[in-house]
Amino acid sequence: MQNDVATDGVCSSESVNGSRDVWSCKDSFSSSADHLVIMVHGILGSSSNWKYGAEQFVRRLPDKVFVHCSERNMAKLTLDGVDVMGERLANEVLDVIQEKPNLSKISFVAHSVGGLVARYAIGKLYRPPKEEVKDDISGNGCKEEPRATIGGLEAINFITVATPHLGSRGNKQVPFLFGVTAFEKAASYVIHWIFRRTGRHLFLTDDDEEKPQLQPPLLKRMLEDYEECYFMSALRLFKRRVLYANVGYDHIVGWRTSSIRRESELPKWGESLNEKYPHIVYEEHCKACDSEQYETISTEDDGSSDKLEEELVRGLSRVSWEKVDVSFHNSRLRFAAHSVIQVKDEFMHTEGADVIQHLIDHFHT
């Protein structure tokens, strides 16, 4: 059973399970929309967290997109671990694709830990190129090269918003711990009491998690194609990979981990770059770097978490990224920056709307 609602040309339906689909009410637009946008919420969240963003997508791109706000990992289910949530999301995406046979493209927009869940899910959804090569119907003698897909669809945009790609246990990666080493070390030992398996994954303490043999932490395993999960092949497949990161006042996810940078790489930022996007303060396009390009990092005086963080930076830098830095320093809602950047609640749209607008303006259809 679904509850259908139409507002200002935007139709939406919410299932009894909590999922939310959003599309154009105009039949000619909705029938031509072949681009599936999967929006994934963060920890303890729900599909309604992306309500504003989903509606803006359809208003701006009514004949291009069909938006699905994920529901398989809502509320306490977000504590079950990145891998379990990733499996659920992958199955949910396949269900949506099966119901919408006209879809040909797919993109992901994910907030907070949802970005890690989406990275896991695409690893499960990756489909290698088919062996057969199709003849080019144009008759010019060329043949179409087979391409890999995500669930059978062409991979376009992979966008994360305030996602802890480097985990949460490094220095200042969880700002509300004030960068105090003792607090950060203590948190790594007790975080699973609060956030269960997801907490272990975020703090990289899952390397001894009831396995017959010792395995690296999940976030490290996700740097490679691992067993039946094509994590890096899937990430590399997208035409764009984009990171939106708060430069400050995000007390949940630090700037370094959400922008995949070392401390020395954090840029100096000032006022907004464009009046249209008053909260965007820095942008850069980072090319893919081969690991051999890096100089050997000295391990002297480094804690293991620093070395592991360096491995994560190097591994994720093997693909190109667009990095967009956001500041709510002058906002009355700056202390809620982690939610404002997503426009989690309707009343936040007066502050974070320009970030959503920037995301959609640069979205490849």
Residue with tokens 């464009």: 274
Which pair of structure tokens corresponds to residue 309? 């963080």
Do 201 and 305 meet the contact criterion of CB atoms below 8 Å apart? no
Helix (H) or strand (E) run with residue 29 in it:
helix 27-32
Tokens of 8: 């200002």
pTM for this structure?
0.89
For CA atoms 181, 248, 120, 46, the dihedral sign is positive
- Asked if 18 contacts 47 with a C-beta cutoff of 8 angstroms, the reply is yes
Task: Look at residue 81 in the predicted model and tell me its pLDDT.
Answer: 96
Chain centroid, CA 275 distance in Å: 26
The domains of the chain are located at 2-130+147-293+301-362
Look at the chain and count its residues. 365
Residue 338 amino acid letter: H
For residue 142, what pLDDT is reported? Answer: 63
What pLDDT does 169 receive?
Answer: 78
Tally DSSP H helices, then E strands, for the chain.
Answer: 11, 16
CA dist 221 and 320 (Å) reads 19
pLDDT number for residue 18: 76
What pLDDT, on a 0 to 100 scale, did the predictor assign at position 77?
Answer: 94
**pLDDT recorded at residue 183:** 43
* pLDDT tens-place values along the chain, 365 residues long: 455 777 779 999 987 677 899 999 999 999 999 999 999 999 999 999 999 999 999 999 999 999 999 999 998 999 999 999 999 999 999 999 999 999 999 999 999 999 999 999 999 999 999 876 555 555 565 666 789 999 999 999 999 999 999 998 755 445 434 344 554 455 454 555 466 699 999 988 886 555 545 789 999 999 999 989 999 999 999 999 999 999 999 989 999 999 999 999 999 998 888 999 999 999 999 999 975 555 544 444 344 448 999 999 999 999 999 999 999 999 999 999 999 999 987 778 789 999 999 999 999 99
Bridging pattern class, strands 154-161 and 240-246: parallel
Domain boundaries 2-130+147-293+301-362, corresponding CATH code:
3.40.50.1820
Given this model, what pLDDT does residue 297 score? 45
The pLDDT score that the predictor gives to residue 300 is: 41
**Model pLDDT, residue 14:** 85
